[in-house]
Every structure is written in structure tokens, then in C-alpha cells.
Amino acid sequence: MIVSHKHKFIFIKTEKTAGTSLEIALSEHCGEDDIITEISKKDEMARKDAGYRSAQNYHIPISKYKKIDFAKLLIQGQRASFYNHMAAEEVRELLGPDVWGRYYKFCFDRNPWDKFVSWYAWKNRDNKYSSMKDFYQKGMAGKVKGFDLYTIGGRLAVDDVFKYEEMDVALKTITKKIGLKKELKMPDFIAKGGVRKERKHYSAIVDEEILASIDVFAAREIKLLGYSRAN
């Protein structure tokens, strides 16, 4: 996730929505005081090679520590930090109501049935699961982070939730809203790309039992963003 004091925006990063690629793209426009959280070593190298800012300013000031943060620091030597896929509620608490209220807040979400296929491909890149059915039956389908990251108490906490499927239009809108002089563009490489081998429509590879289950556990984002199995 990113908190840009330079452009006064907060990017809440959801899962399987090209979040890392977008984070890299946004890094090009960040200033020295902005908060940029860590990504994988491979993607961090790509960001560095592109000449963009790397992870910075993500450690939380001691003044913001809770008891558990002090305990982790003393026992494990682990500093409290802003982190990848951080929930809006946590970010708001750390930034305070003034910054949270003034800054433009946005994120992306995705057709939940298609997101399931992408999530399965990512989590099964080491062939841990014997099949998509096995993945589903072990309770993994609903673990992908989305709606709960950009809502607080079930209510929308950001200004815009863009659709992954409408990325080009979204990038133009974000460019205008955060006042960039140069249009925001995704990097030439795809972060975490090449994992999903199966490119058929989800309806051709996901069975009805799983699709029906997704209807239920993704009902909130389906309603919010107007998704349907016809998308």
C-alpha cells in the first residue's frame, strides 16, 4: 500500500487485482516523505531497475506503538510497520482522522469468480493442491483479501473502488484525481505474472458448486460493483 503526502492519496492494495504492478506504477510519482510498503525481492528489483522509489518510510513511529508492538520489538526485535494488503481501518488509525479525511483513497476489486481462478493459480504455483476442487474444499476460496480491506464495519471506507477489468479508464481517472502531470501507466512487465496458465473463461473451468459458493461469500462486492456471472 502507499500513502502519498506529495499527492495526498492513499492506495489500499487488495489481492489478485494487479496491485503490485499498480503499486510500482504509483511509486514513479511518489516523494521522499511518502510511505511505500515492501513488495517481493523480485518485484522490488524491477521497481529499482525502472528508476522508481523503493519501499520507504514504512516503519511506524514509536509514538504510535501499542503494547503488542512494544512486546514484539523487545522479544522478537520486530518493528511495527505499514504492510502489504493493510486494511483501511488500520491505516486510518495510524494516520489519524485529519489525514485520512483529506486524502483521496482508492483501491481495485475484480470479478469474484475470475478472481478465484487467479487466486487458485497463485496459491497453487508449487502444486500444493491436487485440483481446484481440492483447493476449494480446504477452505481457500474465501481467503483472498478484498472487501474487508476497503471497508470499515461493512461500510465503504474509500472514495473509489475501481474495477480490475476497467484498468485503462481507472488509470486515467486516478491521474486526474491525484493531479499527476504525467499519465499513470502500468509497468511494461507484469508483477507476479506468468503464474496463471489457464486462460479460459472461469465458467468453463470452475464447477457449479464452487461458482454458487462464490455467489455467497462474495455477495457484498457483487452487490457493490454490480458483478454477475455474465461479466
pLDDT in tens, 58-113: 999 998 999 999 998 999 888 999 999 999 999 999 999 999 999 999 999 999 99
Q: What percent of the chain has pLDDT over 90?
A: 85
> What's the CA gap between 159 and 156, in Å, rounded?
8
| Residue 220 near residue 147, CB atoms below 8 Å | yes
Kindly give the pairing relationship between strand 2-4 and strand 35-36: antiparallel
Mean pLDDT, range 174-199, rounded to an integer: 82
Q: Would you say the C-alpha torsion 120, 126, 127, 128 has a positive or negative sign?
A: negative
pLDDT of residue 194: 58
The C-alpha cell that represents 203 in the structure block: 465458467
Among residues 115, 163, 161, the alpha carbon closest in space to that of 142 is found at 115
> Average pLDDT of 180-207?
81
Query: pLDDT tens-digit profile of 119-164?
Result: 999 999 899 999 999 999 999 998 999 999 999 999 999 999 999 9
Label residue 195 by pLDDT band (50, 70, 90): low
Torsion over CA: 172, 98, 28, 78 (sign): negative
Question: And the C-alpha cell for 94?
Answer: 495510524
Place of cell 522479544: 75
Kindly report the pTM of this predicted structure.
Answer: 0.92
Residue 1 has pLDDT above 70, yes or no: yes
**Pairing, β 104-109 against β 9-11:** parallel
DSSP 78-94: PPPB--TT--HHHHHHH
Tens digits of residue pLDDT in 15-29:
999 999 999 999 999
- Alpha carbon 79 to its chain centroid, in Å, reads 22
Question: What would the mean pLDDT of 180-195 be, rounded to a whole number?
Answer: 79
Residue 81 C-alpha cell reads as 510497520
Q: Which three cell numbers stand for residue 226?
A: 454490480
